[in-house]
Chain A
Amino acid sequence: MKKNFRVVNNITPSVDGKGLMQGRSYYTDDLADQNSLIVKLLRSPHAFARIKSIDVSEAEKVPGVACILTKDNVPHVSFTRAGQGYPEPSPHDKFIFDEYARYVGDEVAAVAAVSEEVALQAMKKIKVDYEVLEPVLDFEQAFENKSVIHPEDGIHEMFPIGFDPKKNVAASYEMEVGNVEEELKKCEYVVEDTFYSQAQAHAMIEPHTCNARLDEHNRLVIYSTTQTPFHMRRIMSKTIGLPVEKIRVVKPRVGGGFGGKQAFHGEMFCALVTLRTKKPSKCVFTREEVFGSTYTRHPMRITLRVGANKDGVIQAIDCRALSDTGAYGEHALTVFMIVGSKVLPLYNKAKAVKFGGQVVYTNHVSAGAYRGYGAIQGNYAVESIMDELAEKIGMDPIKFREINSMKEKETSPIFEIMGEGTEGTAMIMESCKLPYCIKRGRELIEWDKKWPRKEVGPHKVRAVGCAIAMQGSGIPFLDMGSCTIKLNDGGSYMVTVGATDIGQGSDTMISQIVAEELGTTVDKVIIYSSDTDLTPYDCGAYASSTTYVSGNAAWNAAQKMRDRLVREAAEYMNVKVGSVEFDGKIFTSGEKSLSLEDLATNRLYNQDTRQIAVTESFHGHVSPPPFMAAFGEFEFDTETFEYKMIKYVTVTDCGTTINPMLAKGQVEGGIAQGYGMASSEEVIYNDKGKLLTTNFDVYHIPTRHEIGELVTEFADSYEPTGPFGAKSVGEIGIDTPPAVLCNAVYNAFGVRVHHLPITPEAIFKAVKEKK
């Protein structure tokens, strides 16, 4: 169903864009109580150690110290910091403070004092007696290593995820459709290759920040830079033993998340400090802590075998992966499964598919949720090997993808088998304009003129590469969003949603959906989001769920409000409900008419007074994937191997773009972040496991100088199960740059770089090895 939209699919400024550029101070630390105790964390200097004892007696004597927390005085309940549905697919393998420190930077104690200076001074006086243990720093050596990273009692999985901590395994998974070995034997062409992807830092500009206070009812109020306020409330309640009704979590404006804030960082400590001292407290991570003690992307090794018949049709895919979850198993299984579940269905002609492997613990910074969430790792490997296979067959890589990739009304058996740590959900692609995306992108990049490479100077070549991608739109039967709409006098609407705006613009997107359905304009919609006291539930901002899940909830609520308003107007005008028409401002029935403003005034002040309000929820029965075709052109120096991005073309099918500019921002922001992973970003440790990339001067994210021309288009597409035809667009942008760059390097030099980032040195080495 297509219709002419007035508000959605139209350019609409972000509801908070102007205020934030003018400096309105609504980020977490802006809202901290001025008298907050400052919470600083004592962190382990060792990659792996057992804490024999902690002596805080001297530290406590420092004037101005209010409270010191250690393993000796906090609840000992295992939990996962991962903000996910309950029961979580992540193992409960973390304690607030533990007997073991599992990476350089792991929390050992928290000091709350009147100032940062005093807190740091006291921290130096805490005496920790460590028994230093042999760390596991190479994830390929982690399985059954003699150093067991989680030897402690009291940790467990919430349901079977292959958790085997005595072998350093956080999770494992195996699946097979058909018989891969049999199919490979029959194939005319078979390729095999292995790819390594690195740890990437989220590097959102706002650090992880939280603060706590007690309200006038002595309830604990947490302000946090969280992507999952409701999960935070639940996990905190269970872990510190405070009933849910005693906790309020508020998410103010958030300065970027990308998955890195889908977790606890300082919140548990601030909560305990405030509960014990009765004083407000705050914990603002330094940039060094953001890099060294939050999350990274899971590094992986992915080995693929892919076989095609004589016509170039893929018959079998075998994908083995090993993932490094670092010190804790947050998102271990789910990120791992997405390597398969959100990449392999792209090639749905395969008769047999096998996917599996392990997620292992190491003594590195914990890996966690990160935009792309397994899909970018999988995409790098799969989309690189597809170029290898196309070349072996002797087919243009685009034609190869055209004949092998997903089309509308098709499906893949993988959808039914693989879900969010459990079984999945079968689905047919009701909207899939991937063939158009490929065709249009090919034109925009001028592939036929540029592929594979062109000499453009004495030692300069330009080469192109391509990749296709898919993602999901929330987790079916699990993710839920909800929305409450109430009518104000004057005829405006107050909309409260649990959906979590972390800078991606969900408040704007939801306002547009409500305004569209109710025939009004965005300025008549006041939106307030993500406050566990004041807004209805939402699972949070992750899994590309907000537009689809929370957007559908808002659409449901707006439809219900429209029905309700029509009924109220019919009653007021004393006419039949079916005779009333509503254009957003005026109700009409034959000769009679009534303005929304008059109805609102009447219902609040005059006749049959009552609050007109509705609440609706949504959970998906499918997770319609957005699709993308991406094409990059790069200029390489054949002497120094330095290169730059000339152009990056993407054509995306995300259904209706609710806000075309925000959708473009999501795609382009994803490309920049993915290009960082492809080209320069890498979390680096020394041989003792100490992090070396601790700030932006040594961890290089793309700047205005590295991003070339971005050409971003969207396919004309309509997803029948989405709000006004929309699917998600938050993650898909990040998926393609590693494979696109890898394929372009191959087209430039005839060498394949098997690990990320693809630096000039890596290309140089590959070229040298080839010679």
Chain B
Amino acid sequence: MEVKFNLNGLDVIYHIQPGEYLLDSLRNNGVKSVKKGCNASACGACTVLVNGKPTLSCSVLTASIEGKKVMTVESIQEEAGELSEYFAKEGADQCGYCSAALALVVHALKEENPHPTREEIDDYLVGNLCRCTGLQSQGNAVEKYLGGKK
């Protein structure tokens, strides 16, 4: 079947199998920045934004995004680059497998709540697991990034 949606500002048509999930559709079509970690809505590595909302692409049927706007990290390149500088200063990046998804979640948080408290940051990011860092450093980086202080 065919699904039309907007991917990172461009209208696209994907030819999919019924029952196909968005994560697989995106990766099959060359969008490899979206990662498969658990395939069970539990790790957050496959996060994309659907109409601006963080969405776990491993558990969204591709058919259901007809007519919607999907954003992956490709659409926030500059922002992701800037965020990475804050991560570097805090010792918050390691393997990078979850980084692109985190950048998207931080983007969504900024849109929804530009001045979150630390607790709100940790709550918003809690679904994005990280096994490499101590997690605190990522919260610090996001807090400083959203607070605009280097």
Chain A residues engaging chain B, CB cutoff 8 angstroms = 11, 13-14, 16-18, 20-25, 27, 29-30, 202-207, 253-256, 258, 284, 286-287, 502-505, 660-665, 667-669, 671-673, 695-697, 701-705, 707, 709-710, 712
Of the residues B77, B80, B85, B103, contact of A13 by C-beta under 8 Å: B85
Question: How distant is A224 from chain B, measured CB to nearest CB, in Å?
Answer: 15
Complex: A620 Cα to B83 Cα, angstroms? 39
Of the residues B80, B134, B136, contact of A23 by C-beta under 8 Å: B80
> Which of B43, B80, B95, B125 has the largest number of chain A CB atoms within 10 A?
B95
Contact flags B106-119 to A (C-beta < 8 A → 1, else 0) = 00000000000000
Of the residues B39, B45, B85, B99, contact of A286 by C-beta under 8 Å: B39
Task: Check B74 for interface membership: any CB of A closer than 8 A.
Answer: yes
Among B46-102, those with CB < 8 Å from A are: 72-74, 77, 80-81, 83-85, 87-100, 102
Complex: A668 Cα to B140 Cα, angstroms? 13
Q: Do A661 and B91 touch (CB < 8 A)?
A: yes
Complex: A14 Cα to B88 Cα, angstroms? 7
Q: Do B131 and A21 touch (CB < 8 A)?
A: no
Q: A205-B45, A255-B35 are in contact. Are A669 and B40 (CB under 8 A)?
A: no
Task: Check B3 for interface membership: any CB of A closer than 8 A.
Answer: no
Contacts of A697 in B (CB 8 A): 40, 42
Complex: A468 Cα to B93 Cα, angstroms? 27
Contacts of B40 in A (CB 8 A): 287, 695-697
Question: How distant is B125 from chain A, measured CB to nearest CB, in Å?
Answer: 6
Q: A14-B93, A16-B96, A21-B93 are in contact. Are A205 and B37 (CB under 8 A)?
A: yes
Contacts of B43 in A (CB 8 A): 205, 287, 696
Contacts of B72 in A (CB 8 A): 23
Q: Do A502 and B89 touch (CB < 8 A)?
A: no
Q: Do A17 and B97 touch (CB < 8 A)?
A: no
Q: A20-B99, A696-B38, A696-B43 are in contact. Are A205 and B130 (CB under 8 A)?
A: yes
A25 — nearest CB in chain B belongs to which residue? B32
Of the residues B36, B38, B84, B91, contact of A695 by C-beta under 8 Å: B38
Of the residues B95, B98, B131, contact of A701 by C-beta under 8 Å: B131
Contacts of A287 in B (CB 8 A): 37-40, 42-43
Of the residues B39, B84, B95, B138, contact of A18 by C-beta under 8 Å: B84
Of the residues A20, A284, A704, contact of B135 by C-beta under 8 Å: A704
Q: Do A664 and B135 touch (CB < 8 A)?
A: no
Q: Do A665 and B137 touch (CB < 8 A)?
A: yes
Complex: A331 Cα to B146 Cα, angstroms? 45
Complex: A286 Cα to B37 Cα, angstroms? 8
Question: How distant is B14 from chain A, measured CB to nearest CB, in Å?
Answer: 15
Complex: A284 Cα to B23 Cα, angstroms? 15
Q: Do B89 and A11 touch (CB < 8 A)?
A: yes
Question: How distant is A16 from chain B, measured CB to nearest CB, in Å?
Answer: 7
Q: How many residues of B contact A (CB 8 A)?
A: 50
Q: A287-B39, A661-B88, A665-B92 are in contact. Are A20 and B100 (CB under 8 A)?
A: yes
Q: A18-B85, A207-B37, A661-B90 are in contact. Are A703 and B99 (CB under 8 A)?
A: no
Of the residues A27, A505, A662, A701, contact of B97 by C-beta under 8 Å: A27
Q: Do B131 and A256 touch (CB < 8 A)?
A: yes
Q: A206-B97, A253-B95 are in contact. Are A22 and B135 (CB under 8 A)?
A: no
> Which of B45, B72, B131, B138 has the largest number of chain A CB atoms within 10 A?
B131
Contacts of A710 in B (CB 8 A): 134, 136-137
Question: How distant is A759 from chain B, measured CB to nearest CB, in Å?
Answer: 20
In the assembled complex, 10 residue pairs joining A and B whose CB atoms fall closer than 8 Å, in A order, are: A206-B95, A287-B37, A504-B132, A668-B133, A696-B38, A696-B43, A697-B40, A703-B135, A704-B122, A704-B139
Q: Do B129 and A696 touch (CB < 8 A)?
A: yes
Q: Do B137 and A17 touch (CB < 8 A)?
A: no
Question: How distant is B55 from chain A, measured CB to nearest CB, in Å?
Answer: 16
Complex: A704 Cα to B40 Cα, angstroms? 19
Contacts of A256 in B (CB 8 A): 94-95, 97, 131-132
Q: Do A22 and B80 touch (CB < 8 A)?
A: yes
Contacts of A704 in B (CB 8 A): 122, 125-126, 135, 138-139
Q: Do A503 and B132 touch (CB < 8 A)?
A: yes
Q: Do A21 and B103 touch (CB < 8 A)?
A: yes
Chain B residues engaging chain A, CB cutoff 8 angstroms = 32-33, 35-40, 42-43, 45, 72-74, 77, 80-81, 83-85, 87-100, 102-103, 122, 125-126, 129-139
Besides the contacts A22-B81, A668-B91, what 20 more A-B pairs have beta carbons closer than 8 Å?
Answer: A17-B93, A17-B99, A21-B73, A21-B80, A21-B99, A29-B32, A204-B95, A205-B95, A205-B130, A256-B97, A503-B97, A504-B94, A661-B88, A661-B91, A665-B132, A668-B137, A669-B94, A703-B126, A704-B122, A704-B125
Complex: A661 Cα to B84 Cα, angstroms? 13
Contacts of A206 in B (CB 8 A): 35, 37, 95, 97
Q: Do B99 and A503 touch (CB < 8 A)?
A: no
Complex: A449 Cα to B45 Cα, angstroms? 42
Q: A661-B89, A668-B137, A672-B134 are in contact. Are A20 and B96 (CB under 8 A)?
A: yes
Contacts of B83 in A (CB 8 A): 21
Question: How distant is B74 from chain A, measured CB to nearest CB, in Å?
Answer: 6
Q: A23-B74, A205-B98 are in contact. Are A671 and B134 (CB under 8 A)?
A: yes
Q: Do A673 and B131 touch (CB < 8 A)?
A: yes
Q: Do A707 and B136 touch (CB < 8 A)?
A: yes
Q: A21-B99, A286-B39 are in contact. Are A669 and B74 (CB under 8 A)?
A: no
Contacts of A20 in B (CB 8 A): 84, 93, 96-97, 99-100
Complex: A125 Cα to B42 Cα, angstroms? 31
Contacts of B45 in A (CB 8 A): 205
> Which of A14, A203, A205, A710 has the largest number of chain B CB atoms within 10 A?
A205
Contacts of B136 in A (CB 8 A): 668, 707, 709-710
Question: How distant is A116 from chain B, measured CB to nearest CB, in Å?
Answer: 9
Question: How distant is A282 from chain B, measured CB to nearest CB, in Å?
Answer: 12
Complex: A634 Cα to B87 Cα, angstroms? 27
Contacts of A669 in B (CB 8 A): 94, 131-134
A14 — nearest CB in chain B belongs to which residue? B93
Question: How distant is A297 from chain B, measured CB to nearest CB, in Å?
Answer: 14
Complex: A707 Cα to B131 Cα, angstroms? 12
Q: A21-B103, A256-B94, A503-B97 are in contact. Are A203 and B36 (CB under 8 A)?
A: no
Complex: A24 Cα to B132 Cα, angstroms? 19
Q: Do B42 and A21 touch (CB < 8 A)?
A: no
Contacts of B73 in A (CB 8 A): 21-23
Complex: A206 Cα to B43 Cα, angstroms? 10
Question: How distant is B132 from chain A, measured CB to nearest CB, in Å?
Answer: 5
B38 — nearest CB in chain A belongs to which residue? A287
Complex: A502 Cα to B97 Cα, angstroms? 11
Q: A206-B97, A256-B94 are in contact. Are A707 and B88 (CB under 8 A)?
A: no
B17 — nearest CB in chain A belongs to which residue? A117
Complex: A597 Cα to B107 Cα, angstroms? 42
Q: Do B100 and A503 touch (CB < 8 A)?
A: no
Complex: A50 Cα to B50 Cα, angstroms? 50
Q: Do A502 and B95 touch (CB < 8 A)?
A: yes
Complex: A488 Cα to B43 Cα, angstroms? 42
Q: Do B36 and A284 touch (CB < 8 A)?
A: yes
Q: A17-B96, A25-B32 are in contact. Are A707 and B134 (CB under 8 A)?
A: yes
A703 — nearest CB in chain B belongs to which residue? B126
Q: Do A17 and B88 touch (CB < 8 A)?
A: yes
Complex: A348 Cα to B126 Cα, angstroms? 43
Contacts of A671 in B (CB 8 A): 134
Contacts of A663 in B (CB 8 A): 91
Contacts of A253 in B (CB 8 A): 95-97
Contacts of B103 in A (CB 8 A): 21-22
Of the residues A16, A23, A205, contact of B131 by C-beta under 8 Å: A205
Complex: A709 Cα to B42 Cα, angstroms? 24
Question: How distant is B83 from chain A, measured CB to nearest CB, in Å?
Answer: 6
Complex: A661 Cα to B83 Cα, angstroms? 16
Question: How distant is A711 from chain B, measured CB to nearest CB, in Å?
Answer: 10
Q: Do A255 and B97 touch (CB < 8 A)?
A: yes
Contacts of B91 in A (CB 8 A): 660-665, 668
Question: How distant is A647 from chain B, measured CB to nearest CB, in Å?
Answer: 11
Contacts of B134 in A (CB 8 A): 665, 667-669, 671-672, 707, 710, 712
